[in-house]
Protein backbone atom coordinates (compact mmCIF):
# COMPACT_ATOMS: atom_id res chain seq x y z
CA UNK A 1 0.00 0.00 0.00
CA UNK A 2 2.79 2.34 1.01
CA UNK A 3 4.65 1.51 -2.20
CA UNK A 4 1.52 2.24 -4.23
CA UNK A 5 1.11 5.56 -2.48
CA UNK A 6 4.72 6.50 -3.19
CA UNK A 7 4.25 5.51 -6.85
CA UNK A 8 1.16 7.70 -7.13
CA UNK A 9 2.96 10.66 -5.54
CA UNK A 10 5.96 10.14 -7.82
CA UNK A 11 3.69 9.94 -10.86
CA UNK A 12 1.95 13.15 -9.85
CA UNK A 13 5.29 14.86 -9.41
CA UNK A 14 6.40 13.81 -12.87
CA UNK A 15 3.07 14.63 -14.48
CA UNK A 16 2.11 18.18 -13.73
CA UNK A 17 -1.61 18.74 -13.77
CA UNK A 18 -2.99 19.44 -17.19
CA UNK A 19 -3.92 23.04 -16.61
CA UNK A 20 -4.86 25.35 -19.40
CA UNK A 21 -4.65 29.04 -20.10
CA UNK A 22 -6.41 30.55 -17.12
CA UNK A 23 -9.97 31.88 -17.28
CA UNK A 24 -9.27 35.41 -18.55
CA UNK A 25 -6.96 34.08 -21.25
CA UNK A 26 -9.58 31.60 -22.47
CA UNK A 27 -12.00 34.53 -22.48
CA UNK A 28 -9.49 36.50 -24.55
CA UNK A 29 -9.34 33.68 -27.12
CA UNK A 30 -13.13 33.62 -27.27
CA UNK A 31 -13.34 37.43 -27.55
CA UNK A 32 -11.09 37.40 -30.60
CA UNK A 33 -13.02 34.50 -32.11
CA UNK A 34 -16.29 36.29 -31.41
CA UNK A 35 -15.38 39.35 -33.46
CA UNK A 36 -14.33 37.08 -36.32
CA UNK A 37 -17.52 35.02 -36.50
CA UNK A 38 -19.74 35.58 -39.49
CA UNK A 39 -23.16 37.01 -38.60
CA UNK A 40 -24.76 33.72 -39.65
CA UNK A 41 -22.44 31.62 -37.52
CA UNK A 42 -22.88 33.91 -34.51
CA UNK A 43 -26.64 33.81 -34.83
CA UNK A 44 -26.72 30.00 -34.97
CA UNK A 45 -24.19 29.51 -32.19
CA UNK A 46 -25.87 31.95 -29.82
CA UNK A 47 -29.23 30.32 -30.48
CA UNK A 48 -27.68 26.97 -29.52
CA UNK A 49 -26.05 28.49 -26.43
CA UNK A 50 -29.31 29.90 -25.10
CA UNK A 51 -28.59 33.42 -26.34
CA UNK A 52 -25.21 33.54 -24.70
CA UNK A 53 -22.14 34.52 -26.64
CA UNK A 54 -19.12 32.23 -26.86
CA UNK A 55 -17.15 34.37 -24.40
CA UNK A 56 -19.67 33.53 -21.70
CA UNK A 57 -18.69 29.87 -21.96
CA UNK A 58 -14.98 30.34 -22.64
CA UNK A 59 -13.88 28.52 -19.49
CA UNK A 60 -16.93 26.36 -18.95
CA UNK A 61 -15.25 23.04 -19.79
CA UNK A 62 -12.74 23.47 -17.01
CA UNK A 63 -15.43 24.55 -14.59
CA UNK A 64 -17.43 21.35 -15.05
CA UNK A 65 -14.50 18.94 -15.32
CA UNK A 66 -14.95 17.65 -11.78
CA UNK A 67 -18.72 17.36 -11.85
CA UNK A 68 -20.68 14.20 -12.45
CA UNK A 69 -21.21 13.45 -16.11
CA UNK A 70 -18.25 15.54 -17.24
CA UNK A 71 -15.26 13.82 -15.68
CA UNK A 72 -14.17 12.50 -19.09
CA UNK A 73 -13.26 16.03 -20.20
CA UNK A 74 -10.32 16.12 -17.80
CA UNK A 75 -8.43 14.18 -20.49
CA UNK A 76 -9.21 16.73 -23.18
CA UNK A 77 -6.48 19.25 -22.49
CA UNK A 78 -3.24 17.88 -23.89
CA UNK A 79 -1.86 16.49 -27.16
CA UNK A 80 0.84 13.79 -27.26
CA UNK A 81 3.45 14.09 -30.00
CA UNK A 82 6.40 12.07 -31.23
CA UNK A 83 9.93 13.40 -31.54
CA UNK A 84 9.04 14.35 -35.11
CA UNK A 85 5.99 16.32 -33.95
CA UNK A 86 3.53 13.71 -35.23
CA UNK A 87 0.32 13.55 -33.26
CA UNK A 88 -0.03 10.20 -31.50
CA UNK A 89 -3.51 8.79 -32.27
CA UNK A 90 -5.90 8.69 -29.34
CA UNK A 91 -6.27 4.90 -29.38
CA UNK A 92 -2.52 4.43 -29.12
CA UNK A 93 -2.07 7.22 -26.56
CA UNK A 94 -4.85 5.86 -24.35
CA UNK A 95 -3.01 2.54 -24.08
CA UNK A 96 0.19 4.13 -22.83
CA UNK A 97 1.32 3.16 -19.35
CA UNK A 98 2.44 6.73 -18.81
CA UNK A 99 -0.44 8.72 -17.37
CA UNK A 100 0.71 11.95 -18.97
CA UNK A 101 0.38 10.39 -22.41
CA UNK A 102 -2.73 8.28 -21.82
CA UNK A 103 -4.63 11.31 -20.55
CA UNK A 104 -3.57 13.55 -23.41
CA UNK A 105 -6.69 13.12 -25.52
CA UNK A 106 -7.57 16.69 -26.51
CA UNK A 107 -7.60 15.89 -30.23
CA UNK A 108 -9.99 13.01 -29.59
CA UNK A 109 -12.25 15.25 -27.52
CA UNK A 110 -12.24 17.90 -30.21
CA UNK A 111 -12.90 15.35 -32.99
CA UNK A 112 -15.87 13.97 -31.05
CA UNK A 113 -17.25 17.45 -30.39
CA UNK A 114 -16.92 18.47 -34.04
CA UNK A 115 -18.51 15.20 -35.23
CA UNK A 116 -21.40 15.69 -32.81
CA UNK A 117 -21.98 19.26 -34.00
CA UNK A 118 -21.84 18.16 -37.65
CA UNK A 119 -24.55 15.60 -36.88
CA UNK A 120 -26.50 17.91 -34.62
CA UNK A 121 -29.86 16.63 -35.82
CA UNK A 122 -29.07 13.41 -33.98
CA UNK A 123 -28.31 14.96 -30.59
CA UNK A 124 -30.27 16.94 -28.03
CA UNK A 125 -30.10 20.70 -27.66
CA UNK A 126 -28.19 20.26 -24.40
CA UNK A 127 -25.68 17.95 -26.06
CA UNK A 128 -25.18 20.47 -28.86
CA UNK A 129 -24.58 23.18 -26.29
CA UNK A 130 -22.00 21.03 -24.49
CA UNK A 131 -20.15 20.20 -27.68
CA UNK A 132 -19.91 23.85 -28.75
CA UNK A 133 -18.51 24.64 -25.33
CA UNK A 134 -15.95 21.84 -25.68
CA UNK A 135 -14.77 23.27 -29.00
CA UNK A 136 -14.46 26.80 -27.57
CA UNK A 137 -12.24 25.55 -24.76
CA UNK A 138 -10.14 22.90 -26.48
CA UNK A 139 -9.05 25.15 -29.37
CA UNK A 140 -7.70 27.56 -26.75
CA UNK A 141 -5.74 24.77 -25.07
CA UNK A 142 -4.28 23.67 -28.40
CA UNK A 143 -2.49 27.03 -28.50
CA UNK A 144 -0.94 26.79 -25.06
CA UNK A 145 2.61 25.37 -25.16
CA UNK A 146 2.28 23.40 -21.91
CA UNK A 147 -0.47 21.31 -23.50
CA UNK A 148 1.90 19.70 -25.90
CA UNK A 149 3.21 16.44 -24.48
CA UNK A 150 6.43 15.76 -26.38
CA UNK A 151 6.96 12.10 -25.63
CA UNK A 152 10.70 12.37 -26.22
CA UNK A 153 10.93 15.17 -23.64
CA UNK A 154 8.64 13.98 -20.84
CA UNK A 155 11.08 14.80 -18.08
CA UNK A 156 11.13 18.43 -19.20
CA UNK A 157 7.47 18.73 -18.21
CA UNK A 158 8.62 18.50 -14.60
CA UNK A 159 11.05 21.40 -14.95
CA UNK A 160 10.99 23.79 -12.05
CA UNK A 161 12.71 27.04 -11.27
CA UNK A 162 13.31 29.31 -8.31
CA UNK A 163 12.27 32.94 -8.36
CA UNK A 164 14.20 35.49 -6.30
CA UNK A 165 14.24 34.44 -2.65
CA UNK A 166 11.40 31.93 -2.83
CA UNK A 167 12.25 28.61 -1.25
CA UNK A 168 9.59 26.65 -3.09
CA UNK A 169 10.23 26.05 -6.77
CA UNK A 170 7.74 27.13 -9.40
CA UNK A 171 6.52 24.79 -12.11
CA UNK A 172 7.48 25.67 -15.67
CA UNK A 173 4.24 24.12 -16.93
CA UNK A 174 2.17 26.23 -14.58
CA UNK A 175 4.09 29.28 -15.76
CA UNK A 176 2.34 28.84 -19.11
CA UNK A 177 -1.13 28.96 -17.57
CA UNK A 178 -0.93 32.71 -17.33
CA UNK A 179 2.35 34.16 -16.12
CA UNK A 180 4.02 33.83 -19.50
CA UNK A 181 1.61 36.59 -20.53
CA UNK A 182 0.36 38.30 -17.39
CA UNK A 183 3.86 39.01 -16.13
CA UNK A 184 4.08 41.53 -18.97
CA UNK A 185 0.53 42.50 -19.89
CA UNK A 186 -2.44 42.95 -17.57
CA UNK A 187 -4.99 43.27 -20.35
CA UNK A 188 -8.66 42.52 -20.02
CA UNK A 189 -10.13 40.09 -22.60
CA UNK A 190 -11.54 42.95 -24.69
CA UNK A 191 -8.11 44.58 -24.68
CA UNK A 192 -6.62 41.46 -26.23
CA UNK A 193 -8.96 42.16 -29.14
CA UNK A 194 -7.61 45.69 -29.43
CA UNK A 195 -4.05 44.37 -29.38
CA UNK A 196 -4.28 41.23 -31.46
CA UNK A 197 -7.25 41.47 -33.80
CA UNK A 198 -5.24 43.35 -36.42
CA UNK A 199 -4.57 40.87 -39.19
CA UNK A 200 -5.58 41.44 -42.79
CA UNK A 201 -8.00 38.97 -44.47
CA UNK A 202 -5.01 37.49 -46.33
CA UNK A 203 -3.05 37.00 -43.11
CA UNK A 204 -6.07 35.40 -41.45
CA UNK A 205 -6.50 33.08 -44.44
CA UNK A 206 -2.89 31.95 -44.15
CA UNK A 207 -3.17 31.47 -40.39
CA UNK A 208 -6.32 29.40 -40.60
CA UNK A 209 -5.53 27.31 -43.66
CA UNK A 210 -5.18 23.54 -43.34
CA UNK A 211 -6.71 21.16 -40.84
CA UNK A 212 -6.67 21.27 -37.04
CA UNK A 213 -3.89 18.65 -37.16
CA UNK A 214 -1.87 20.96 -39.40
CA UNK A 215 -2.30 23.75 -36.85
CA UNK A 216 -1.14 21.48 -34.03
CA UNK A 217 1.89 20.23 -35.94
CA UNK A 218 2.84 23.81 -36.80
CA UNK A 219 2.43 24.91 -33.19
CA UNK A 220 4.48 21.95 -31.98
CA UNK A 221 7.56 23.14 -33.86
CA UNK A 222 7.43 26.46 -32.01
CA UNK A 223 6.36 25.13 -28.63
CA UNK A 224 9.10 22.50 -28.49
CA UNK A 225 11.62 25.31 -28.27
CA UNK A 226 10.39 26.65 -24.93
CA UNK A 227 12.33 23.98 -23.05
CA UNK A 228 15.67 25.20 -24.35
CA UNK A 229 15.34 28.30 -22.17
CA UNK A 230 15.42 26.57 -18.78
CA UNK A 231 17.77 24.27 -16.92
CA UNK A 232 16.51 22.13 -14.01
CA UNK A 233 15.97 24.14 -10.83
CA UNK A 234 17.38 27.27 -12.36
CA UNK A 235 17.52 30.25 -10.00
CA UNK A 236 16.58 33.74 -11.10
CA UNK A 237 17.01 37.04 -9.33
CA UNK A 238 14.50 39.73 -10.27
CA UNK A 239 16.56 41.14 -13.13
CA UNK A 240 17.40 37.74 -14.54
CA UNK A 241 13.76 36.73 -14.34
CA UNK A 242 12.64 39.77 -16.32
CA UNK A 243 15.19 39.01 -19.03
CA UNK A 244 14.06 35.37 -19.06
CA UNK A 245 10.40 36.39 -19.34
CA UNK A 246 11.29 38.37 -22.43
CA UNK A 247 11.94 35.08 -24.24
CA UNK A 248 8.30 34.14 -24.01
CA UNK A 249 5.75 36.88 -23.65
CA UNK A 250 5.48 37.89 -27.29
CA UNK A 251 5.07 34.34 -28.56
CA UNK A 252 2.67 33.40 -25.75
CA UNK A 253 0.52 36.49 -26.25
CA UNK A 254 0.35 36.05 -29.99
CA UNK A 255 -0.95 32.51 -29.48
CA UNK A 256 -4.09 33.98 -27.93
CA UNK A 257 -4.75 35.78 -31.20
CA UNK A 258 -3.91 32.75 -33.33
CA UNK A 259 -6.26 30.60 -31.25
CA UNK A 260 -9.02 33.18 -31.58
CA UNK A 261 -8.78 33.36 -35.36
CA UNK A 262 -8.70 29.58 -35.68
CA UNK A 263 -11.58 29.06 -33.29
CA UNK A 264 -13.62 31.49 -35.41
CA UNK A 265 -12.65 29.63 -38.60
CA UNK A 266 -13.69 26.32 -37.07
CA UNK A 267 -17.00 27.63 -35.75
CA UNK A 268 -17.76 29.53 -38.96
CA UNK A 269 -17.31 26.28 -40.90
CA UNK A 270 -19.64 24.45 -38.54
CA UNK A 271 -22.38 27.06 -38.28
CA UNK A 272 -22.31 28.97 -41.56
CA UNK A 273 -22.86 26.90 -44.69
CA UNK A 274 -21.18 29.49 -46.88
CA UNK A 275 -17.89 29.10 -44.99
CA UNK A 276 -15.31 26.35 -45.63
CA UNK A 277 -15.43 23.46 -43.21
CA UNK A 278 -12.35 22.70 -41.12
CA UNK A 279 -11.41 19.08 -40.67
CA UNK A 280 -9.50 17.49 -37.83
CA UNK A 281 -7.02 15.64 -40.09
CA UNK B 1 -5.35 25.50 4.34
CA UNK B 2 -1.69 24.93 3.56
CA UNK B 3 -2.52 24.73 -0.15
CA UNK B 4 -4.44 27.99 0.08
CA UNK B 5 -1.49 29.63 1.77
CA UNK B 6 0.88 28.35 -0.90
CA UNK B 7 -1.36 29.66 -3.66
CA UNK B 8 -1.61 32.98 -1.86
CA UNK B 9 2.18 33.15 -1.47
CA UNK B 10 2.73 32.42 -5.15
CA UNK B 11 0.02 34.88 -6.17
CA UNK B 12 1.52 37.61 -4.01
CA UNK B 13 5.03 36.99 -5.27
CA UNK B 14 3.83 37.06 -8.88
CA UNK B 15 1.99 40.27 -8.10
CA UNK B 16 5.08 41.76 -6.48
CA UNK B 17 7.26 40.68 -9.37
CA UNK B 18 4.91 42.12 -11.93
CA UNK B 19 4.43 45.50 -10.39
CA UNK B 20 7.90 46.52 -9.36
CA UNK B 21 8.54 48.94 -12.20
CA UNK B 22 8.17 52.68 -13.01
CA UNK B 23 4.84 54.46 -13.22
CA UNK B 24 3.01 51.15 -13.31
CA UNK B 25 2.20 49.33 -16.50
CA UNK B 26 -1.52 50.14 -16.23
CA UNK B 27 -0.83 53.87 -16.24
CA UNK B 28 1.65 53.57 -19.11
CA UNK B 29 -0.83 51.54 -21.16
CA UNK B 30 -3.57 54.07 -20.41
CA UNK B 31 -1.37 56.98 -21.49
CA UNK B 32 -0.50 55.22 -24.74
CA UNK B 33 -4.15 54.35 -25.38
CA UNK B 34 -5.28 57.94 -24.77
CA UNK B 35 -2.59 59.01 -27.23
CA UNK B 36 -3.75 56.43 -29.75
CA UNK B 37 -7.30 57.79 -29.56
CA UNK B 38 -5.98 61.22 -30.53
CA UNK B 39 -3.74 60.18 -33.41
CA UNK B 40 -4.56 61.23 -36.93
CA UNK B 41 -5.25 58.25 -39.22
CA UNK B 42 -1.98 58.93 -41.10
CA UNK B 43 0.09 59.12 -37.93
CA UNK B 44 -1.49 55.95 -36.54
CA UNK B 45 -0.88 54.06 -39.74
CA UNK B 46 2.70 55.29 -40.07
CA UNK B 47 3.81 54.64 -36.52
CA UNK B 48 2.19 51.19 -36.43
CA UNK B 49 3.96 50.34 -39.68
CA UNK B 50 7.26 50.87 -37.84
CA UNK B 51 6.36 48.54 -34.98
CA UNK B 52 5.18 45.44 -36.81
CA UNK B 53 1.60 46.60 -37.08
CA UNK B 54 1.08 46.61 -33.34
CA UNK B 55 -0.56 49.28 -31.23
CA UNK B 56 1.71 51.71 -29.39
CA UNK B 57 -0.02 50.43 -26.24
CA UNK B 58 1.73 47.08 -26.74
CA UNK B 59 5.05 48.83 -26.24
CA UNK B 60 4.01 51.20 -23.45
CA UNK B 61 6.19 49.41 -20.88
CA UNK B 62 8.75 47.91 -23.22
CA UNK B 63 11.47 50.11 -21.75
CA UNK B 64 10.80 48.73 -18.28
CA UNK B 65 10.68 45.13 -19.48
CA UNK B 66 13.77 45.31 -21.64
CA UNK B 67 15.74 47.87 -19.69
CA UNK B 68 18.46 45.35 -18.88
CA UNK B 69 19.00 44.49 -22.52
CA UNK B 70 19.23 47.96 -24.02
CA UNK B 71 20.81 51.21 -22.98
CA UNK B 72 18.89 52.52 -20.00
CA UNK B 73 17.55 55.98 -20.48
CA UNK B 74 17.03 58.08 -17.41
CA UNK B 75 13.38 58.94 -16.92
CA UNK B 76 13.63 61.16 -13.89
CA UNK B 77 13.80 64.92 -13.91
CA UNK B 78 15.56 67.05 -11.30
CA UNK B 79 13.84 70.31 -10.61
CA UNK B 80 15.67 73.35 -9.30
CA UNK B 81 13.22 75.25 -7.11
CA UNK B 82 15.42 78.38 -7.24
CA UNK B 83 15.70 78.74 -11.00
CA UNK B 84 12.43 76.89 -11.62
CA UNK B 85 14.14 74.84 -14.32
CA UNK B 86 14.37 71.12 -14.79
CA UNK B 87 17.87 69.71 -15.06
CA UNK B 88 19.52 66.42 -15.83
CA UNK B 89 19.95 64.38 -18.95
CA UNK B 90 16.47 62.89 -19.15
CA UNK B 91 15.05 65.92 -20.96
CA UNK B 92 17.93 66.02 -23.43
CA UNK B 93 17.58 62.31 -24.12
CA UNK B 94 13.87 62.48 -24.85
CA UNK B 95 14.31 65.58 -26.94
CA UNK B 96 17.06 63.85 -28.92
CA UNK B 97 14.81 60.85 -29.42
CA UNK B 98 12.04 63.06 -30.81
CA UNK B 99 14.46 64.87 -33.10
CA UNK B 100 15.85 61.58 -34.42
CA UNK B 101 12.37 60.27 -35.06
CA UNK B 102 11.57 63.30 -37.18
CA UNK B 103 13.89 61.67 -39.68
CA UNK B 104 12.85 58.11 -38.81
CA UNK B 105 13.21 56.80 -42.34
CA UNK B 106 16.96 57.26 -42.14
CA UNK B 107 17.24 55.17 -38.95
CA UNK B 108 17.87 51.45 -38.84
CA UNK B 109 14.81 49.34 -38.01
CA UNK B 110 16.17 48.53 -34.56
CA UNK B 111 16.94 52.16 -33.72
CA UNK B 112 13.61 53.32 -35.10
CA UNK B 113 11.76 50.87 -32.87
CA UNK B 114 13.82 51.65 -29.79
CA UNK B 115 13.23 55.36 -30.18
CA UNK B 116 9.49 54.79 -30.53
CA UNK B 117 9.45 52.58 -27.42
CA UNK B 118 11.43 55.25 -25.58
CA UNK B 119 9.11 58.04 -26.65
CA UNK B 120 5.94 56.15 -25.72
CA UNK B 121 7.30 55.23 -22.30
CA UNK B 122 9.29 58.31 -21.36
CA UNK B 123 6.47 60.75 -22.13
CA UNK B 124 4.53 58.89 -19.46
CA UNK B 125 7.34 58.87 -16.93
CA UNK B 126 7.98 62.58 -17.46
CA UNK B 127 4.44 63.27 -16.33
CA UNK B 128 4.69 61.09 -13.25
CA UNK B 129 5.11 63.24 -10.13
CA UNK B 130 7.06 60.39 -8.56
CA UNK B 131 9.70 60.83 -11.24
CA UNK B 132 10.13 64.54 -10.61
CA UNK B 133 12.87 65.00 -8.07
CA UNK B 134 13.90 68.12 -6.23
CA UNK B 135 17.29 69.74 -6.04
CA UNK B 136 18.21 71.43 -2.79
CA UNK B 137 18.97 75.15 -2.76
CA UNK B 138 22.69 74.46 -3.11
CA UNK B 139 22.01 72.12 -6.01
CA UNK B 140 23.84 69.26 -4.32
CA UNK B 141 21.15 67.23 -2.63
CA UNK B 142 18.62 65.41 -4.77
CA UNK B 143 15.37 64.76 -3.00
CA UNK B 144 13.63 61.89 -4.69
CA UNK B 145 10.74 59.66 -3.75
CA UNK B 146 12.98 56.81 -2.61
CA UNK B 147 12.31 57.09 1.08
CA UNK B 148 10.09 55.28 3.48
CA UNK B 149 6.62 56.41 4.43
CA UNK B 150 3.69 54.70 6.07
CA UNK B 151 1.13 54.01 3.39
CA UNK B 152 -2.62 54.38 3.75
CA UNK B 153 -2.72 50.64 4.53
CA UNK B 154 -0.49 51.17 7.58
CA UNK B 155 2.50 49.42 6.05
CA UNK B 156 5.94 50.91 5.62
CA UNK B 157 6.55 51.46 1.95
CA UNK B 158 8.66 53.54 -0.37
CA UNK B 159 7.05 56.84 -1.32
CA UNK B 160 8.02 55.94 -4.88
CA UNK B 161 5.88 52.81 -4.64
CA UNK B 162 2.93 54.98 -3.67
CA UNK B 163 3.29 56.62 -7.09
CA UNK B 164 4.15 53.50 -8.98
CA UNK B 165 1.33 51.49 -7.60
CA UNK B 166 -0.97 52.76 -4.89
CA UNK B 167 -2.37 55.92 -6.46
CA UNK B 168 -3.57 53.98 -9.49
CA UNK B 169 -4.35 50.57 -8.06
CA UNK B 170 -6.23 51.86 -5.03
CA UNK B 171 -8.86 53.76 -6.99
CA UNK B 172 -8.88 51.91 -10.31
CA UNK B 173 -8.04 48.34 -9.39
CA UNK B 174 -10.73 46.84 -11.60
CA UNK B 175 -9.94 48.97 -14.62
CA UNK B 176 -8.12 47.81 -17.69
CA UNK B 177 -6.37 50.44 -19.77
CA UNK B 178 -9.43 50.92 -21.97
CA UNK B 179 -11.75 51.47 -19.02
CA UNK B 180 -9.27 53.86 -17.48
CA UNK B 181 -8.73 55.81 -20.69
CA UNK B 182 -12.44 56.02 -21.45
CA UNK B 183 -13.14 57.37 -17.97
CA UNK B 184 -10.40 60.01 -18.15
CA UNK B 185 -10.56 60.94 -21.82
CA UNK B 186 -14.27 61.57 -21.84
CA UNK B 187 -15.61 64.47 -23.87
CA UNK B 188 -12.52 66.60 -23.46
CA UNK B 189 -13.11 69.96 -25.08
CA UNK B 190 -10.94 71.05 -27.99
CA UNK B 191 -10.03 74.12 -25.95
CA UNK B 192 -8.70 71.93 -23.17
CA UNK B 193 -6.77 69.74 -25.60
CA UNK B 194 -5.29 72.83 -27.28
CA UNK B 195 -4.36 74.29 -23.91
CA UNK B 196 -2.67 71.08 -22.71
CA UNK B 197 -0.75 70.47 -25.93
CA UNK B 198 0.41 74.07 -26.38
CA UNK B 199 4.14 74.65 -25.91
CA UNK B 200 6.94 72.13 -26.15
CA UNK B 201 8.53 69.34 -24.18
CA UNK B 202 10.45 71.79 -22.01
CA UNK B 203 7.28 73.69 -21.11
CA UNK B 204 5.51 70.46 -20.26
CA UNK B 205 8.36 69.36 -18.02
CA UNK B 206 8.38 72.69 -16.18
CA UNK B 207 4.65 72.44 -15.66
CA UNK B 208 4.85 68.87 -14.36
CA UNK B 209 7.60 69.87 -11.94
CA UNK B 210 5.72 72.90 -10.67
CA UNK B 211 2.49 70.98 -10.20
CA UNK B 212 4.24 68.16 -8.40
CA UNK B 213 6.19 70.11 -5.79
CA UNK B 214 3.49 69.84 -3.18
CA UNK B 215 3.88 66.09 -2.86
CA UNK B 216 7.17 66.70 -1.00
CA UNK B 217 5.45 69.07 1.41
CA UNK B 218 2.58 66.69 1.93
CA UNK B 219 4.87 63.74 2.61
CA UNK B 220 8.21 65.08 3.83
CA UNK B 221 11.30 62.92 3.95
CA UNK B 222 12.37 61.68 7.35
CA UNK B 223 15.99 60.77 8.15
CA UNK B 224 17.14 57.26 7.40
CA UNK B 225 16.37 54.89 10.25
CA UNK B 226 13.35 56.85 11.47
CA UNK B 227 11.09 54.50 13.47
CA UNK B 228 7.80 53.61 11.83
CA UNK B 229 5.80 55.60 14.38
CA UNK B 230 7.60 58.78 13.31
CA UNK B 231 7.52 58.26 9.55
CA UNK B 232 5.27 60.43 7.40
CA UNK B 233 1.85 58.81 7.14
CA UNK B 234 -0.33 58.93 4.08
CA UNK B 235 -4.01 58.94 4.81
CA UNK B 236 -6.78 58.18 2.37
CA UNK B 237 -7.56 61.87 1.73
CA UNK B 238 -3.96 62.52 0.78
CA UNK B 239 -3.98 59.43 -1.42
CA UNK B 240 -7.09 60.78 -3.12
CA UNK B 241 -5.41 64.13 -3.76
CA UNK B 242 -2.41 62.35 -5.23
CA UNK B 243 -4.74 60.14 -7.27
CA UNK B 244 -6.39 63.20 -8.81
CA UNK B 245 -3.00 64.63 -9.71
CA UNK B 246 -2.05 61.27 -11.24
CA UNK B 247 -5.26 61.21 -13.30
CA UNK B 248 -4.61 64.73 -14.62
CA UNK B 249 -1.03 63.87 -15.48
CA UNK B 250 -2.07 60.69 -17.30
CA UNK B 251 -4.46 62.63 -19.52
CA UNK B 252 -1.87 65.31 -20.23
CA UNK B 253 0.81 62.74 -21.02
CA UNK B 254 -1.52 60.95 -23.43
CA UNK B 255 -2.58 64.12 -25.24
CA UNK B 256 1.00 65.38 -25.49
CA UNK B 257 2.28 62.02 -26.69
CA UNK B 258 -0.36 62.15 -29.41
CA UNK B 259 0.75 65.64 -30.37
CA UNK B 260 4.37 64.54 -30.80
CA UNK B 261 3.46 61.40 -32.74
CA UNK B 262 1.10 63.35 -34.99
CA UNK B 263 3.87 65.84 -35.72
CA UNK B 264 6.48 63.18 -36.40
CA UNK B 265 4.46 60.48 -38.14
CA UNK B 266 1.48 62.41 -39.46
CA UNK B 267 3.17 63.77 -42.55
pTM above threshold 0.95: no
Residues of A in contact with B176 (CB under 8 A): 186-188, 190-191
CA distance B12 to chain A (A): 11
> In chain A, which residues have their Cβ closer than 8 Å to the Cβ of B18?
182-184, 186
Higher pLDDT, A135 or A11: A135
Which chain B residue shows the shortest CA-CA distance from A169? B10
Which residue range forms the structural domain that includes residue A95?
Answer: 2-271
- Set of chain B residues whose Cβ sits within 8 Å of the Cβ of A252: none
B127 touches chain A (CB under 8 A): no
Cβ–Cβ contact A228 with B under 8 A: no
**Residue A155 counted as domain residue:** yes
How far apart CA A137 and CA A54 sit, in angstroms, is: 10
Q: Is A170 on the interface with B (CB under 8 A)?
A: yes
Say which residue, B68 or B62, is predicted with more confidence: B62
- Residues near A24 by beta carbon (within 8 Å), at least 6 away in sequence: A178, A188, A189
Q: Name the more confident of B15 and B191.
A: B191
Helix runs in chain B, H state only: 2-18, 25-37, 41-50, 62-65, 89-101, 109-125, 159-161, 167-172, 177-184, 190-197, 201-212, 214-218, 236-265
Average pLDDT over residues B35-41: 98
Residue B7 touches partner A, C-beta closer than 8 Å:
no
pLDDT in tens, B167-178: 887 888 889 999
Percent above pLDDT 90 for chain B: 57
Q: Residue B78 above 80 pLDDT?
A: yes
3-state secondary structure of B33: helix
Interchain pair A246, B69: CB under 8 A: yes
> How high is the pLDDT of residue B161?
87
Q: What's the average model confidence in pLDDT over A256-267?
A: 98
Give the pLDDT of residue B130. Answer: 85
A170–B10 CB contact, under 8 Å:
yes
Lowest mean pLDDT among A18-22, A84-88, A186-190, A236-240: A18-22
Q: How many domains does chain A have?
A: 1
Q: How far apart are CA A268 and CA A41, in angstroms?
A: 5
Cβ distance B204 to B245 under 8 Å?
Answer: no
Percent of all residues in chain A with a pLDDT value above 90, rounded to a whole number: 91
Residue B6 has pLDDT above 90, yes or no: no
In angstroms, what CA-CA distances link A54 with A47, A50, A192, A257, B204?
A: 11, 11, 16, 15, 46
Strands A79-81 and A148-150: parallel
Angstroms from B53 CA to nearest CA on chain A: 8
Which residues 178-197 of chain B have a CB within 8 Å of chain A? 178-179
- For residue A2, pLDDT over 90 is answered with no
**Alpha-carbon distance B42 to A5, whole Å?**
66
Q: Is the per-residue pLDDT at A12 higher than 50?
A: no
Domain with residue A28: its CATH number is 1.10.575.10
Cα–Cα distance for residue pair B79/B115, rounded to 1 Å: 25
Closest CB to A238 among B20, B25, B61: B20
- Is B111 in CB contact (< 8 Å) with chain A? no
Test B68 with A243 for CB contact under 8 angstroms.
yes
CB pairs under 8 A between A and B: 60
> Is A79 within the bounds of a domain?
yes
- Across all residues in chain B, what is the average pLDDT? 86
Residue A71, pLDDT score: 92
Q: Mark which residues 16-45 of B lie under 8 Å from A by CB.
A: 17-18, 20, 25-26, 29
Contact residues on chain A for B68, CB-CB shorter than 8 A: 239, 242-243
Q: Who among B10, B26, B68 is closest to A186 (CB)?
A: B26
Flag whether A279 is in a domain. no
Instruction: Give the closest residue to B182 by CA, choosing from B113, B247, B241.
Output: B247
Interchain contact B176–A (C-beta under 8 A): yes
When pLDDT is averaged across residues B5-31 and rounded to a whole number, the result is: 53
Helix axes A23-35, A249-271, angle to 10 degrees: 50
pLDDT in tens, A105-142: 999 999 999 999 999 999 999 999 999 999 999 999 99
Q: Is A203 near chain B, with CB under 8 Å?
A: no
pLDDT surpassing 90 at residue B91:
no
| Averaged pLDDT for residues B217-235 | 89
A281 falls within a domain: no
pLDDT, tens only, A83-100: 999 999 999 999 999 999
A166 at interface of B, judged by CB pairs closer than 8 A: yes
**Max Cα distance, chain A (Å):** 60
- Between residues 52 and 71 of chain B, which touch chain A (CB distance below 8 Å)? 53-55, 57-58, 61, 65-66, 68-69
Superfamily of chain region B2-265: P1 Nuclease (1.10.575.10)
Is the residue at A276 inside a domain? no
Give which of A191, A240, A245, A249 to mutate to test B binding, by max B Cβ within 10 Å: A191
> Looking at the partner chain, which of B18, B61, B69 has a beta carbon nearest the beta carbon of A182?
B18
> pLDDT grade, residue B12 (50/70/90)?
very low
- Measured between beta carbons, which residues in chain A are less than 8 angstroms from residue B14? 179, 182-183
- Which residue in the set A186, A194, A195 is minimally distant from B25, CB to CB? A186
Q: Which residues of B touch A242 (CB under 8 A)?
A: 65, 68
The string of pLDDT tens digits covering residues A149-171 is 999 999 999 999 999 999 999 99
- Which carries the bigger pLDDT value, residue B140 or residue A214? A214
Distance CA A39, CA A30 (A): 16
Our CA-based measurement puts residue A246 at a distance from the nearest CA of chain B, in whole angstroms, of 7
pLDDT in tens, A129-138: 999 999 999 9
In a domain, A98, yes or no: yes
Percentage of the residues of chain A whose pLDDT score is greater than 70:
93
Judge whether residue B1 has pLDDT over 50: no
The answer for residues whose C-beta is within 8 angstroms of residue A232's C-beta and 6 or more apart is A159, A160
The mean pLDDT value for B169-189 works out to: 91
Amino acid sequence: MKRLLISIIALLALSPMAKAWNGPLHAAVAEIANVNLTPEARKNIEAALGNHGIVYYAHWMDDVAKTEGYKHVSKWHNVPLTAKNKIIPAKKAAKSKNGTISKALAMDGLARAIAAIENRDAISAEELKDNIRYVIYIVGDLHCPSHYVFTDMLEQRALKYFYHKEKKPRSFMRFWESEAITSTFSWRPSEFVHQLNRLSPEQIARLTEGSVSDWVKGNAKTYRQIYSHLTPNQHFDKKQYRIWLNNFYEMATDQIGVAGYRLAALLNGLFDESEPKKSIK
Amino acid sequence: MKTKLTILTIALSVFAASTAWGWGRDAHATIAYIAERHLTPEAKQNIEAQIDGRSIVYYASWMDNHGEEVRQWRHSVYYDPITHKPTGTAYTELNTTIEKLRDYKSLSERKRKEHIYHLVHAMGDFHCPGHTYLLSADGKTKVNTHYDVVGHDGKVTRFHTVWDLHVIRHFHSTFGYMDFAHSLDNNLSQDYIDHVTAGNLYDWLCETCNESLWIYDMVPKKPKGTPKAELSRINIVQLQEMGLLADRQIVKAGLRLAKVINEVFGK
